[in-house]
Amino acid sequence: MKSHHQILIIGGGTAGIMTATQLLKKNGKLDIGLIEPADTHYYQPAWTLVGAGTYDYDKTAKPMSGLIPKGVTWIKDYAEGFDPGNNAVSTKRSGTFSYDYLVVAPGLIMDPTLIEGLPEAMEKGIACSNYTDPRHTWETIKNFKGGNALFTQPTTPIKCGGAPQKTAYLAADYFGKHGLKDKTNVIFATPGSVIFGVKQVKETLTRVIDRYGIHFKPFYAPYKIDVDKKIVFFNHTAPDENQCVINADNELGETMTGDAVIQIPFDMLHLAPPQTAPKFVKESVLVNDAGWLDVDHHSMQHNKYPNIFGLGDVAALPTAKTGAAIRKQVPIVVDNLMRLLKHQEASNKSYNGYSSCPLVTGYGKMVLAEFDYKNNFIPDPKLKRLLVFNSAKEHWRLWMLKKYGLPYLYWNKMMKGKNV
């Protein structure tokens, strides 16, 4: 196997595959190597629906070998370290690979150890998560008999930031349809200050929360799980003017210690595990102080090493980590790489932070939040023409888009380097 490539890509996820396919469409003679150890590529956006019993898990998986485009050298190994001064990447088994240009897109990793007791809770099946095993989430929801159904998320950035609340809405809908509404307290506890940062979408979701009678708990940052007693401990992170007062004998059994520690007992717990950049990225010279790949917010070019780009979930971009964001990032990275190959400046700085979050609000209902760095609501013009209604409102057509349209576009357009 050759040890030097014109362009080296780390990661066979959405960002890595899309970048490789779009580069080859620009120039089929490019010498591209792609480092990826996994045999299987998953369409993870559908895992929300798998966790609600309305999508087949097996349909979310395809062999990596069928997705890496012909003409790309697949280096089936783990990236382990960077030497940007010598334009080199080391791997676990295959040695070192050098490059002219590097694209870093390995995604992120789950790190349950950042919440005390979470690894044990997941191992024992006491906690479920669509992020790790959506089939277990569905079994948990189906077998739930009542009590506190607690949904929460960590203080770290997470992929698809809306996913934890989507699961709460689907579960609440399921419980209502199966006679459990009066026996259940659905609780959504988040470290965030609002249910969603985009005004138009927030208004819709506030009505959804009211419809289901969900107990919404902002400023709740989970830090510990007592597995035996089935209690989650939260730090209440609100500013002084929003300090929390917990009344004794409340219906949730919620208690408070001191000014900031809150305990909530649960009968069902779903959460997004804390998430970080992979260790080999986090411990490298390529990251910012928070441990994410330090790239320009508009060009995705590294702020220190101009022949390196980073995109997707690993990048330090202040927007939601979604496949929709990657869809807009890839063409800009590809354009900038093509400019550099022609000895021009990587001057395409047109990424505005676009991301979108398909917020499923119940079976057969969805809201589509599309936004930029400033949290402006910016519906995609193509989609707007197709849907002909306000996508910040719930609609069955958006559910159909989520369940059927987006998976089709993903496998047949995005993964094949076509613009969508």
> Could you confirm whether 357 is annotated as catalytic?
yes
DSSP 8-state class, residue 342: T
CA dist., res. 340 & res. 332, Å (int): 12
E strands, 125-219, are: 127-128, 147-152, 184-189, 215-217
CB count in 10 Å sphere of residue 418: 13
Q: In what order do the strands lie in the sheet with 231-236?
A: 220-226, 231-236, 261-265, 255-257
Which residue is catalytic, options 32, 160, 221, 398?
A: 160
Please tell me which residue in 272, 277, 357, 368 is annotated as part of the active site: 357
How distant is the alpha carbon of residue 226 from its chain centre? 26
Contact assessment for residue 299 and residue 346, using Cβ atoms and an 8 Å cutoff: yes
Q: List the structure tokens of 131.
A: 């992020």
Distance from C-alpha of 410 to C-alpha of 382, rounded to nearest angstrom: 16
244 is an active site residue: no
Q: Residue 287 has what DSSP assignment? A: B
Beta-bridge partners for 309: 103, 301
Token readout for 40 is: 């299987």
Distance CA 329, CA 311 (A): 7
CA angle 353, 115, 231 (to 5 degrees): 120
For residue 192, give both structure tokens.
Answer: 């965030």
Reading the block at residue 35, the tokens are 């480092």
Query: HSE on the CB side for 375, CA within 13 Å?
Result: 8
Are the C-beta atoms of 16 and 9 separated by less than 8 Å?
yes
Contact of 338 with 100, CB cutoff 8 Å = no
Question: Could you tell me which of 238, 196, 190 has the C-alpha nearest to residue 216?
Answer: 190
**Phi and psi at residue 203, to the nearest 5°:** -60, -40
Taking alpha carbons only, the member of 263, 158, 182, 121 closest to residue 167 is 158
Whether the CB-CB separation of 150 and 189 falls below 8 Å is answered with yes
| Structural contact between residues 184 and 149, judged by C-beta atoms closer than 8 angstroms | yes
A 10 A CB-CB count for 29 gives 7
Radius of gyration of the chain (CA): 22
* Residues annotated as catalytic (active site), given as ranges: 160, 357
